[in-house]
Amino acid sequence: LVLASALLVVSSLRVPVASTLRVPVASTLRVPVPPRMTTTAAPEPGDPSLILNVNRKLKDKKSFLQASSKAIAECFSKPEMYVAVCVNDDVDVLFGGSDDAAAVGCVYSIGAINQANNGAVTAKLSALLLEHGGVADNRIYLNFFDVPRANCGWSSKTFAG
């Protein structure tokens, strides 16, 4: 009865018969296995990008920009030639109701957004902000966004086509 119920459930699935898995039971039960999906997205220009606002004048802005670009490329394992960084320093930012040194930013990427990568980027950018702007790590917010290919434009089109 159990085997008959399993066959009834399995036969109601609409999965190509060519991809099946044989499971040994009293007799052989054929369980459909959906086709495997693989994604191997190559890095894209403009991917990833950082937009950062800091309420202090950075000591050496060009050096900070270069170091940030390199850090993002390393943390996301993407070629630096595709990284875009925009930093607005000496702007109005309040953090916790205080205008003490603070920063808020957004990191965007097509893929590569995950806990490990985000943590690595946060650590590296926090160290750079402390060195170049005196911003303590507990006064920095970074938000990470995994951007769908259709929502990222470059070279007169989106990455979806």
CB atoms within 10 A of CB 67: 18
Tell me how far apart the alpha carbons of residues 137 and 130 are, in angstroms, rounded to a whole number: 7
Q: Which DSSP string do the residues of 113-156 spell out, in sequence order? A: -SHHHHHHHHHHHHHHHHHHH---GGGEEEEEEE--GGG-EETT
- Which positions are catalytic? 48
CB 42 within 8 A of CB 75: no
**What's the chain's Rg over C-alpha atoms?**
24
Helix (H) or strand (E) holding 88: strand 84-88
Write the single-letter amino acid at 42.
Answer: A
State whether the Cα torsion 37-77-105-116 is positive or negative.
positive
φ, ψ at 91 (rounded to 5°): -115, 165
